[in-house]
C-alpha cells in the first residue's frame, strides 16, 4: 500500500524584524507534527519560508535607512538560521521576494481568478493598519485604532482591484460545515462559520505600486498595481511546489495527490486562511475533496484544502 502523503506548512512571517519566540513556537509545534507523522510511516513534506513583499517590510527598511533588498535579505537570513538553532526538519524554505518559483504562481492564480470574472476595479477609502496589512471598517474599530496592535490606523484612499469574496459565502460555509475543509479546533471552526454567516464583503487585492516604491509582485496586465501581500503570501503554499512553473511534478505529488494538506497557523490569521485563501482556490475552479483529519495541540489548523488546478495560463477577461 502506498504510504500516506502529508503536505504540512507553517505561516510565513514578515521579515520586518528579527524572529521572536512566537515564530519559534509555531515552527517547533509544526516540526513536532512533521516528525510524529514520519514516525508513523507517512511521507511528509514540511514547508516554511518568509513573507518578503509586505509594505511593512518596506516601511521598516525605510525607518532603518537601508535599501529594501538588503534589509529583507538580512532578516530573511535570521529566519532561515532558525533551522539549525531549533533543529527543524523542514524540507523547503521559500522566500517570496527572491525565489524564482514564487511570482509565476502568484500571477497564474491571479489570472485564473480573473478568468472567472472575480475581479473589478473600485475606488476605496478605509482605515488601514500597516502592522496587519489590512483595512478595517469604521464600525469594527474604536477610536481609529487597530484591534490587534492598538496602533493608530491610517485613512487611505486608492483605486484597487477587488475580489468578489461575497459570491463565495455559501460555498465557503458549505465546505467547512460539511467537513470537506476542517478547521481545528472546533471553537475556531465555529468562529469562522459565524464570520461567514455574518456576511462577507469583497476585499481589495492590489495596492498602488507607487506606495511601496514598486516592491512586490506586479498585477498581471496592470503595472500601476502590485498584488496585495496577503494574496501574494498565501500563494506560497503552492508556488513552492512549482505551481505556475513548467515543472508541475511536486505540485501534483504534494498538492493534487496529497492525502492531507495542513496549514498550521496562529489564531490572528485564521480568516485569511479559512476564508480568503479558500475562496481564492474556489475561484480558480479548484475542487474540494474529503480527506482524513488530524489535530494539533495549541496551534489552530486549517486543513483539507481544495486542490488547485495546474492549467495553462488564461487570458484576462475583465
Phi, psi (5° rounding) for residue 7? Answer: -100, 125
CB of 155 to Zn ion, least distance (A): 15
- Please report whether residue 282 would count as binding Zn ion according to CB under 5 A: no
CB of 131 to Zn ion, least distance (A): 4
Distance CA 101, CA 120 (A): 27
Cell numbers representing residue 227 in the block = 498584488
Q: Residue 106: is the preceding peptide bond cis (ω within 30°)? A: no
Single residue of 78, 104, 126, 131 touching Zn ion by CB under 5 A? 131
Single residue of 3, 36, 62, 149 touching Zn ion by CB under 5 A? 149
- Please report whether residue 146 would count as binding Zn ion according to CB under 5 A: yes
Single residue of 72, 94, 132, 182 touching Zn ion by CB under 5 A? 132
CB of 66 to Zn ion, least distance (A): 23
Q: Considering the complex, state which of residue 114 and residue 132 has its C-beta at the smaller distance from Zn ion.
A: 132
Single residue of 129, 196, 217, 233 touching Zn ion by CB under 5 A? 129
Cβ neighbours of residue 84 under 8 Å, at least 6 residues apart?
none
- Please report whether residue 220 would count as binding Zn ion according to CB under 5 A: no
Interacting span for Zn ion (CB under 5 A) from 90-98, 130-138, 205-213, 268-276: 130-138
Question: Is residue 150 classed exposed, middle or buried when 0-12, 13-18 and 19+ CB atoms within 10 A define those classes?
Answer: exposed
Interacting span for Zn ion (CB under 5 A) from 20-28, 41-49, 126-134, 261-269: 126-134
Distance CA 301, CA 262 (A): 7
- Please report whether residue 104 would count as binding Zn ion according to CB under 5 A: no
Residues that contact Zn ion, how many (by CB under 5 A): 6
Which stretches of the chain bind Zn ion, using CB under 5 A? Answer: 129, 131-132, 146, 148-149
Amino acid at each position: 500500500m502506498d504510504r500516506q502523503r502529508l503536505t504540512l506548512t507553517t505561516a510565513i512571517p514578515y521579515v520586518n524584524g528579527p524572529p521572536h519566540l512566537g515564530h519559534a513556537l509555531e515552527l517547533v509545534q509544526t516540526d513536532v507534527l512533521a516528525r510524529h507523522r514520519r514516525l508513523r510511516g507517512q511521507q511528509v513534506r514540511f514547508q516554511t519560508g518568509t513573507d518578503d513583499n509586505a509594505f511593512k517590510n518596506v516601511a521598516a527598511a525605510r525607518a532603518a535607512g537601508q535599501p529594501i533588498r538588503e534589509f529583507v535579505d538580512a532578516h530573511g537570513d535570521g529566519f532561515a538560521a532558525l533551522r539549525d538553532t531549533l533543529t527543524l526538519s523542514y524540507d523547503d524554505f521559500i522566500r517570496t521576494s527572491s525565489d524564482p518559483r514564487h511570482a509565476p504562481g502568484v500571477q497564474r492564480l491571479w489570472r485564473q481568478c480573473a478568468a472567472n470574472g472575480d475581479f473589478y476595479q473600485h475606488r476605496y477609502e478605509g482605515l488601514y493598519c500597516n502592522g496587519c496589512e489590512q483595512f478595517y471598517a469604521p464600525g469594527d474599530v474604536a477610536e481609529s485604532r487597530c484591534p490587534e496592535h492598538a496602533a493608530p490606523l491610517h485613512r487611505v484612499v486608492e483605486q484597487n482591484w477587488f475580489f468578489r469574496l461575497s459570491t463565495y459565502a455559501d460555498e465557503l460555509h458549505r465546505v467547512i460545515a460539511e467537513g470537506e475543509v476542517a478547521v481545528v479546533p472546533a471553537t475556531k471552526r465555529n468562529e469562522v462559520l459565524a464570520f461567514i454567516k455574518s456576511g462577507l464583503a469583497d476585499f481589495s487585492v492590489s495596492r498602488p505600486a507607487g506606495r511601496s516604491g514598486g516592491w512586490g509582485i506586479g498585477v498581471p496586465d496592470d503595472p500601476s498595481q502590485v498584488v496585495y501581500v496577503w494574496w501574494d503570501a498565501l500563494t506560497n503554499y503552492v508556488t513552492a511546489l512549482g505551481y505556475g512553473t513548467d515543472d508541475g511534478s511536486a505540485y501534483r505529488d504534494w498538492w493534487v495527490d496529497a492525502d492531507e494538506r495542513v496549514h498550521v497557523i496562529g489564531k490572528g490569521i485564521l480568516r485569511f486562511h479559512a476564508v480568503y485563501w479558500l475562496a481564492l482556490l474556489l475561484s480558480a475552479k479548484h475542487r474540494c475533496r474529503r480527506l482524513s483529519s488530524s489535530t494539533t495541540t495549541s496551534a489552530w489548523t486549517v486543513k483539507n484544502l481544495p486542490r488547485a488546478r495546474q492549467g495553462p495560463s488564461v487570458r484576462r477577461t475583465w
